[in-house]
């Protein structure tokens, strides 16, 4: 039987105005609900193969959680959140995750449920140290490739400001310039690779929607061309990135080619819930891309599990992250959001 230790990380340092406004609105309306770990962990049921043990949450500063109390809201502003991110605050929490896994989970299997995806880096580091980085593959389902450092991301935004008359960004926003290349939910894979915490050939990111088109290679604007080269270098170094459009064009064959590259005895599975954004669910923090259908998410996971069993690869950890508790499970139109139902099914399929 597999012993799975379930824990939460409700870190939410989202600097976007819409996120901050939402937190203030929740205070004014009295909207209160449980965080993702609390909701999901209560509904996990043991099976003949898996025993789940809930071991609590990693402590997060009260102003950095998804639903701060009214007395902590004075800290919740763009200035403070930017300062936290630029000071590598997300890395500090990733380190807390790593120590938590080493001290309270291992030798059992970690399952993290939460918000900011940067925390995944801590789980991966702990497992890479235990099993050896050459023995651990990481398979990630994500609408974004989380290896993009701020200086590269901001060049795209600045290009959008310059050429898109309908841009949602403002050229007068001081936080769109001169940012630190920090460890965060958008960049943590870059640091795991550049600091050699994991091997590029053992990283597989599936379903991304931000994969640059080939036309970017010859773009006149050097910012676009540089982004293309930055992104593609990950593949040149050995990372496997499977864009959503390529996946959907030939689902089974695309997955088969990816799985055949997994040669390690251990694998970690990370699911950014935005893999189903605006298609299967609406309870993700970021909904900028149209994600996969619910059935497609399960097909990927079933394929990973099937291949792992065939090749005797052990699944030694998993997470489901980037859940927005203000939207997850809420009513949209005539229907209720399925984020939590899908999260539970994802976990069930990974560990069955």
The predicted-structure confidence for 82-107, as pLDDT tens digits, reads as follows: 999 999 999 999 999 999 999 999 99
pLDDT score of 233: 97
**Sequence-ordered strand ranges (E) for the chain:** 2-9, 50-57, 109-114, 136-141, 203-208, 240-243, 266-272, 314-321, 331-332, 335-336
- Does residue 10 carry a pLDDT above 80? yes
The predicted-structure confidence for 108-161, as pLDDT tens digits, reads as follows: 999 999 999 999 999 999 999 999 999 999 999 999 999 999 999 998 888 888
Judge whether 49 and 351 are in contact, CB under 8 Å. Answer: yes
Mean pLDDT for the stretch of residues 287-315:
97
Bridge-based pairing of strands 314-321 and 203-208 is unpaired
Mean pLDDT for the stretch of residues 213-236:
89
Q: How much of the chain, in percent, has pLDDT values that exceed 70?
A: 100
**What span, in angstroms and rounded, lies between the C-alpha atoms of 97 and 103?**
10
Mean pLDDT for the stretch of residues 282-305:
97
- Does residue 315 carry a pLDDT above 80? yes
**What span, in angstroms and rounded, lies between the C-alpha atoms of 122 and 29?**
35
Give 255's contacts (C-beta < 8 A, 6+ positions apart).
206, 247, 299, 300, 303
**What span, in angstroms and rounded, lies between the C-alpha atoms of 272 and 324?**
11
pLDDT score of 94: 99
Q: At 167, is the pLDDT very low, low, confident or very high (cuts 50, 70, 90)?
A: confident
Rounded-to-5 percentages of helix, strand, coil across the chain: 45, 15, 35
pLDDT score of 334: 87
Full domain range(s) for residue 164: 2-350
Residue 88 DSSP symbol: T
Q: At 166, is the pLDDT very low, low, confident or very high (cuts 50, 70, 90)?
A: confident
SS (H, E, C) 272-285: EHHHHECCCECCEC
pLDDT score of 215: 82
Residue 323 DSSP symbol: B
Mean pLDDT for the stretch of residues 289-294:
97
For the domain that residue 162 is a member of, what is the CATH number?
A: 3.40.800.10
For 51, left (φ over 0), alpha (ψ -120 to 50), or beta?
Answer: beta
**What span, in angstroms and rounded, lies between the C-alpha atoms of 140 and 268?**
8
Give 4's contacts (C-beta < 8 A, 6+ positions apart).
50, 51, 52, 53, 108, 109, 110, 111, 351
Mean pLDDT for the stretch of residues 244-258:
96
For 196, left (φ over 0), alpha (ψ -120 to 50), or beta?
Answer: left
pLDDT score of 256: 96
Count of structural domains within the chain: 1
With 0-12 / 13-18 / 19 or more C-beta atoms within 10 angstroms meaning exposed / middle / buried, residue 78 is: middle
Distance in Å from the first CA to the final CA of the chain: 10
- Does residue 175 carry a pLDDT above 80? no
| Count of Cβ atoms closer than 10 Å to residue 55 Cβ | 15
pLDDT score of 238: 98
């Amino acid at each position: 039987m597999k012993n799975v230790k379930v824990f939460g990380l409700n870190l939410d340092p989202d600097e976007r105005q819409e996120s901050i406004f939402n937190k203030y609105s929740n205070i004014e309306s009295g909207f209160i609900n449980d965080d993702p770990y609390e909701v999901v962990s209560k509904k996990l049921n043991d099976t003949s193969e898996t025993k789940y043990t809930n071991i609590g949450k990693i402590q997060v500063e009260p102003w950095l959680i998804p639903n701060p109390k009214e007395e902590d809201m004075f800290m919740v502003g763009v200035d403070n959140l930017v300062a936290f991110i630029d000071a590598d605050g997300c890395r500090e929490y990733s380190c807390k995750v790593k120590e938590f896994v080493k001290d309270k989970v291992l030798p059992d299997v970690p399952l993290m449920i939460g918000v900011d995806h940067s925390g995944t880096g801590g789980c991966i580091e702990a497992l890479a140290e235990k099993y050896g980085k050459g023995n651990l593959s990481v398979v990630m389902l994500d609408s974004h490739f989380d290896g993009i450092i701020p200086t590269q991301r901001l060049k795209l935004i600045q290009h959008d400001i310059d050429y898109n008359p309908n841009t949602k960004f403002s050229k007068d926003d001081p936080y769109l310039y001169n940012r630190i290349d920090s460890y965060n939910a958008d960049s943590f894979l870059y640091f795991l690779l550049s600091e050699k915490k994991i091997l590029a050939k053992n990283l597989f990111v599936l379903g991304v929607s931000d994969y640059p088109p080939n036309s970017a290679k010859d773009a006149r604007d050097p910012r676009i061309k540089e982004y293309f080269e930055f992104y593609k270098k990950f593949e040149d170094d050995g990372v496997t990135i499977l864009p959503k459009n390529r996946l959907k064009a030939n689902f089974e064959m695309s997955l088969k080619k990816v799985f055949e590259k997994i040669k390690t005895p251990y694998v970690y599975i990370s699911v950014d819930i935005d893999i189903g954004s605006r298609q299967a669910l609406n309870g993700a923090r970021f909904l900028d891309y149209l994600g996969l259908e619910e059935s497609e998410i399960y097909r990927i996971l079933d394929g990973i599990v099937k291949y792992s069993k065939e090749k005797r690869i052990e699944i030694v950890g998993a997470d489901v992250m980037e859940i927005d508790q203000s939207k997850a499970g809420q009513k949209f139109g005539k229907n209720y959001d399925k984020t939590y139902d899908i999260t539970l099914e994802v976990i069930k399929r990974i560990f069955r």
